Amino acid sequence: MAANPPAALADGATITLNAASQANPWYTVTLGGNRTLNVSGMVAGGNYKLFVRQPASGGPDTLALGTGCTWIYDPLRWSTTANSTDLLAWWYDGTSCWVVQATINGPVSEGTPAASAATNFGTAISSTNLIVSVPVTAVYNVGGSMYVSTAGAGCSSATNSATVTWAWTDATGTAQTVTGPLVSVTGNGTLGATTVSGPLSIVAETGTAISYTVASTLGSTGCSTTPKYTAQLKAFN
């Protein structure tokens, strides 16, 4: 016997899911904007599944949980790439909906991979937004690498370093910082010498930025060519 296909829900500002007293139905919806899900007709002890698809263009969109039960869930994290799909599943105990969420299409990337310009050791990089506006309060993983993109010439044997500092606002509205990665070389350094860090897990508040700065020192003297570093960074959840 062929399995029943998922029932397609109508998109709208409010998406209505009426389970019609079924205990184990499954559904699908393609978002056309930021939406709210209202549920009804569920059976105590029932398991419910909703495949949430991002639009082909114009997203990314989010789905908030509305009326019909008391939702028990961790912060929701929706995929941000076109046509990607997330699974929202819950068990209904007669009062509460106990939610789990899975990202079917892999990690959710936020922002653009940030590769800084090749920068002289001893020159800082000022505050740069990796994510301008966090889409939802949730755990984000930040990390990347620092590497020597130009080897020096004629540099004395001393330490040259560059260190990334991440900055964000947590769920309480408190500004936070953490350092990493760091690249440290002696004298001219070696082209391609790399330090990788992360992912570092942080909780960032919706609507705020995740940014980074780089502090750098040039301990060497006498350089005819100053060694350069590049930061390549990313955020995902």
The per-residue pLDDT of the chain, averaged, comes to: 87
**Does residue 87 contact residue 51 with C-beta atoms inside 8 Å?**
yes
**Does residue 171 contact residue 142 with C-beta atoms inside 8 Å?**
no
At which of 48, 79, 103 does a domain end? 103
- Tell whether 122 and 180 lie within a shared domain: yes
At which of 103, 134, 158 does a domain end? 103
Work out the percent of the chain whose per-residue pLDDT is above 70: 92
Per-residue pLDDT for 2 more than 60?
A: no
Per-residue pLDDT for 150 more than 90?
A: yes
- pLDDT score, position 93: 92
- pLDDT score, position 136: 75
- pLDDT score, position 101: 83
For residue 176, name the pLDDT band (cuts at 50, 70, 90).
Answer: very high
How far is 36 from 193, CA to CA, in rounded Å?
Answer: 49
Per-residue pLDDT for 1 more than 60?
A: no
Residue 44 included in any domain? yes
Domain that holds residue 197: 109-236
Sheet holding 35-40, edge to edge: 14-18, 35-40, 63-65
Q: Regarding predicted confidence, which is higher, 219 or 26? A: 219
How far is 23 from 44, CA to CA, in rounded Å?
Answer: 8
Strands 26-30 and 47-53, bridge-based pairing: parallel
Residue range 204-233, pLDDT digits in tens: 888 899 999 999 999 999 999 999 999 988
Per-residue pLDDT for 78 more than 80?
A: yes
- pLDDT score, position 235: 78
- Tell whether 195 and 121 lie within a shared domain: yes
Residue range 87-134, pLDDT digits in tens: 999 999 999 999 988 776 655 555 556 788 899 999 999 999 888 888
Q: Regarding predicted confidence, which is higher, 199 or 190? A: 190
Q: Regarding predicted confidence, which is higher, 153 or 140? A: 153
| Whole-prediction pTM | 0.58
For residue 58, name the pLDDT band (cuts at 50, 70, 90).
Answer: confident
How far is 138 from 131, CA to CA, in rounded Å?
Answer: 13
Question: Of 158, 117, 139, 118, which Cα lies nearest the Cα of 210?
Answer: 139
Residue 198 included in any domain? yes
- Tell whether 20 and 73 lie within a shared domain: yes
Tally of structural domains, the chain: 2
At which of 74, 103, 132 does a domain end? 103
Work out the percent of the chain whose per-residue pLDDT is above 90: 54
